[in-house]
Structure 1
């Protein structure tokens, strides 16, 4: 259904355009769409060495995702599926693979989503729990699991 390819510094522009396509509606909904702010935020957080291109079998870019270490956990960010590819199960398939990697490493995954974004429901369906929020973002964590159960349940 998809393959991962490593991202490079040269992928920045096309991934920025993907980000804008994916987030524009959500940002407009809360009155925060600004291309320059989106560019600046992406430029300051783009870590190509932790970013993967999500490729379709025919070699077309379907999205991207970044997951890498941050303060002893894994940080999931810049998870964008091209709008025309959304709703087909691709995002769930990608996330399941990332969750399996985190589980194998026995590390929790942390992420944030924009307030009022549909992404919050997506992550909740995949076992993420809300840990807080601020004016613009909602924060989530998913504990590592072993054998399909959260590790804290396995230890009881």
Structure 2
């Protein structure tokens, strides 16, 4: 695992990347969505389209060219950033890549003295990941769980 992390980078997203990113999102989310009976390809397209804000999106890249995931971290109000998307392709989960991305996101939040908010799907493996990284459950709405990582509690 540790030899993989130095080979990772973040690269900018282009508006022409939408279809590839949609396929990656579906690959990453389908098992969790099927567990709660909510998988719908059209809805996946709508959700990504609504949050497709190129200036705040990054491809997660291995060895300079292999896109293994993507992340969106965008401002939300004066005091927070929204981690809107953090998806890894099947086969690249559990290798420390998500932790590498989370370290980057929390560093961005510390620099800006902002919290990080996110929403995760109930029954998703991602919930354990977010709790391990200092996020606190703040609410629940349908199949969505709302979390917040507080910069002030992490000595920002």
TM-score by length of 2: 0.91
Note if 1:122 corresponds to 2:129: yes
Structure-to-structure mapping, 1:136-147, within 5 angstroms: 136-144=143-151
Note if 1:91 corresponds to 2:91: no
Deviations 1:117-143 (A, max 9, x none): 111110010000000011120000001
Structure-to-structure mapping, 1:1-156, within 5 angstroms: 1=5, 2-72=8-78, 73-144=80-151, 150-151=154-155
Q: Secondary structure at the match of 2:91?
A: helix
Would the aligned equivalents of 2:9 and 2:64 in 1 still touch at CA under 8 Å?
no
- Using the alignment, how far apart are the partners of 1:32 and 1:78 within structure 2? 18
- Using the alignment, how far apart are the partners of 1:122 and 1:60 within structure 2? 24
In the superposition, relative to structure 1, how do residues 150 and 58 fare at CA in structure 2: closer, same or farther (>3 Å)? closer
Mark the runs of 5 or more structure 1 residues left unpaired by the alignment.
none
- Using the alignment, how far apart are the partners of 2:102 and 2:154 within structure 1? 17
RMSD: 1.3
- Using the alignment, how far apart are the partners of 1:88 and 1:41 within structure 2? 26
Instruction: Number of aligned residue pairs: give it.
Output: 149
Q: Give the deviation of 1:150 after TM superposition.
A: 2.5
Q: Secondary structure at the match of 1:109?
A: strand
